[in-house]
Amino acid sequence: MITKVIKFGGTSVGNISRIKEVANIIIDKANKKQRIVVIVSAMSGVTNDLIKKSQEISTNFSDEEYDVLVSSGEQVTSALLSACLIDKGIKARSLLAWQVPIVTVGQHKNSRIISINSKSINRYLDQNYVVVIPGFQGISEKLRISTIGRGGSDASAVAVAKALKADRCEIYTDVQGVFTTNPDICREAKKIDKISYDEMLEMSSSGAKVMQSTSIQKAMLNEVEIFVKSTFYPKKVGTHILSENKISYDKVITGVAYSIDDAKVTIIGVKDKPGVASAIFKPLNDQNIIVDMIVQNVSAESNETDVTFTVKSNDMNQTEKLLNRLKSELGYKKLITDKNVSKISIVGAGMITHPGIAYKMFNSLALKNINILVISTSEIRISVLIEEKNAELAVKTLHNVFELA
C-alpha cells in the first residue's frame, strides 16, 4: 500500500465548504486503499489575524506565547477536517504536533524540525486511519509549543514525508502548480511541469511564496520529490519538483520572482579600513536580522566609502536603531533608508552555460527606464533591486524578454 502525505494551504481550507471539498479529495484517495497523512494550514487570514491580536495586546509580546497563539489556527483546521471526514464515514483523527511529537530546535517563531516520531503516526495508519496533522507547529526540547516560520506548513509536509518514507508528497494550493512567475500579476505566466530543487529554492527565497523556501531545502537534502497541485482542479497534473539530473532544459531562464518586503539601507561616508564591514553587520547578526543584497563602493581617494544593503522591511526599524547606536564608533556621515523597493530575480540553471543573460536583463530594464539600485547574483539567479512602483512592469518585461510566455 502506498503512503501519501498531502498538504492543504490556507485558501484551500478557507471556509467550511472548502473543507468539505478537501475531505472529498482525501476520501477519493483513502478509497483507493492509500495510507493518507494530511497536513493542514490555518484557514486563510487566521494566522494574520492572530498576529494582529498579539500586536494589539503588547508591542513586546512574549515569543513563547506568540507560538502558542499563532499555532492555534492549524489546530482548528485539523479538528474541523478530521470531524468532517468522520462524519462522512471515514476513520480519521487529528494528531497535534506535541502528540506525534514533532520536535524542533532553534528560536521561537522560527524553529526548525529535527525529529518526528513516525511510529505514532504509523500506529494509526496501520489501523486504516486518515491522520490529520497541523502544519507549522512543533514542540521544543523544553516542551514548549513552537512554530517554524511563515508558510511553514509546506516544511511540515516535507518533514513528515521524509520521516514516513512516504511514496509521495503532494502540496495542494490555490494555483495549478509553480508558474513561470506569479500568475496573479502576469496573465501570460505558464505552469512549469518540472523544476529542480535548486531553481525552486532560488524562486522561493526570491519571493515565489507558492512553496516556502525551508521546505525546498529540506526536500533537496532528503530527496523528497514534491508535486504541487490545485485543490480546485485536483485531477490536473501540477508541477513536479525534483533533482536537476531528471530534467531536460529547453529554456535558459525558468522563472521570474519578485518580493516587495525588502528595505534598503545606505550608510554614507564610512571609513574604508579593515573591520568596518564586520562592525556594521555584527549587531545585525546578533539580533538575527537577515541581510540580503550588499554593495560597497570602492573609495576613490577620500578613504571613505558608502555601504548599501537590504533587510526585510519588518527588520527595518530595529536595523536603524542598531546603526544609530554605532554612529560615533563607525563615524559615518549619514544613514538613508528606503522601504519602497522591490527585488526582481530571474532564475534558471541555463544561465550557467549561456553568456549575456545579465546584459539582456539590465538592457531590457533600461529600455523601460527602470533604474537598478543594487545587484546580486548566484550561479543560477540574478537579482536587481528597483523602485517598488516599477515592480510589476519589470516582472512583465523580463517574463516577455526571456520568452517565458
Of ligand ADP, Mg ion, ligand ASP, none, which one sits near residue 136, judging by CB under 5 to 8 A according to partner kind?
A: ligand ASP
Q: Which of 36, 42, 69, 374 binds ligand ASP (CB under 6 A)?
A: 42
DSSP string, 134-163: ESSEEEETTS-EEE--TTTHHHHHHHHHHH
Distance separating alpha carbons of residues 169 and 37, to the nearest angstrom? 10
Q: Sign of dihedral through CA atoms 55, 57, 58, 63? A: negative
146 near ligand ADP, judged by CB under 6 A? no
Q: Which is nearer to ligand ASP, 151 or 348 (CB)?
A: 151
CB 221 within 8 A of CB 364: no
Of Mg ion, ligand ADP, ligand ASP, none, which one sits near residue 259, judging by CB under 5 to 8 A according to partner kind?
A: none
CB 153 → ligand ASP: shortest distance, Å? 3
Q: Which of 135, 138, 151, 177 binds Mg ion (CB under 5 A)?
A: 151
Using CB under 6 A, which residues numbered 187 to 216 contact ligand ADP? Answer: 208-210
Rounded to 5 degrees, φ, ψ at 393 are: -65, -40
Of ligand ASP, ligand ADP, Mg ion, none, which one sits near residue 179, judging by CB under 5 to 8 A according to partner kind?
A: ligand ADP
Distance separating alpha carbons of residues 32 and 379, to the nearest angstrom? 43
- Degrees to nearest 5, angle at CA 267 with 337 and 208: 50
Q: Which of 10, 134, 138, 348 binds ligand ASP (CB under 6 A)?
A: 10
Using CB under 6 A, which residues numbered 213 to 272 contact ligand ADP? Answer: 255
Q: Which of 179, 197, 227, 309 binds ligand ADP (CB under 6 A)?
A: 179
Sheet with 374-378: list strands edge to edge: 291-296, 304-312, 255-271, 334-347, 381-387, 374-378
Residue type, 161: A
Residue type, 337: T
Residue type, 166: A
CB 53 → ligand ASP: shortest distance, Å? 14
132 near ligand ADP, judged by CB under 6 A? no
Distance separating alpha carbons of residues 199 and 216, to the nearest angstrom? 10
CB 40 → ligand ASP: shortest distance, Å? 9
| Count of beta carbons in the 10 Å neighbourhood of residue 301 | 5
Using CB under 6 A, which residues numbered 270 to 309 contact ligand ADP? Answer: none
CB 41 → Mg ion: shortest distance, Å? 7
CB 95 → ligand ADP: shortest distance, Å? 20
Of ligand ADP, Mg ion, ligand ASP, none, which one sits near residue 42, judging by CB under 5 to 8 A according to partner kind?
A: ligand ASP
150 near ligand ASP, judged by CB under 6 A? yes
CB 340 within 8 A of CB 281: no
CB 217 → ligand ASP: shortest distance, Å? 15
Q: Which is nearer to Mg ion, 111 or 215 (CB)?
A: 215
Using CB under 6 A, which residues numbered 65 to 84 contact ligand ASP? Answer: 73
Q: Kindly indicate which of the ranges 39-47, 84-92, 315-323, 350-358 contains the residues binding ligand ASP, using the contact rule CB under 6 A.
A: 39-47
The phi-psi region of residue 58 (left if phi > 0; otherwise alpha if psi is between -120 and 50; otherwise beta) is: beta
User: Beta strands of 149-288 (E only): which ranges?
Assistant: 168-173, 194-196, 226-230, 239-242, 255-271
Pairing of strands 3-8, 168-173: parallel
CB 302 → ligand ASP: shortest distance, Å? 46
Q: Which is nearer to ligand ASP, 135 or 348 (CB)?
A: 135
Q: Which of 178, 241, 253, 293 binds ligand ADP (CB under 6 A)?
A: 178
Cell numbers that stand for 190 in this block: 505558464
Of ligand ASP, Mg ion, ligand ADP, none, which one sits near residue 383, judging by CB under 5 to 8 A according to partner kind?
A: none
CB 149 within 8 A of CB 107: no
Binding site for ligand ADP (CB under 6 A): 9-12, 41, 151, 173-175, 178-179, 181-184, 208-210, 255
Residues at the contact surface with Mg ion, assessed by CB under 5 A: 9, 151
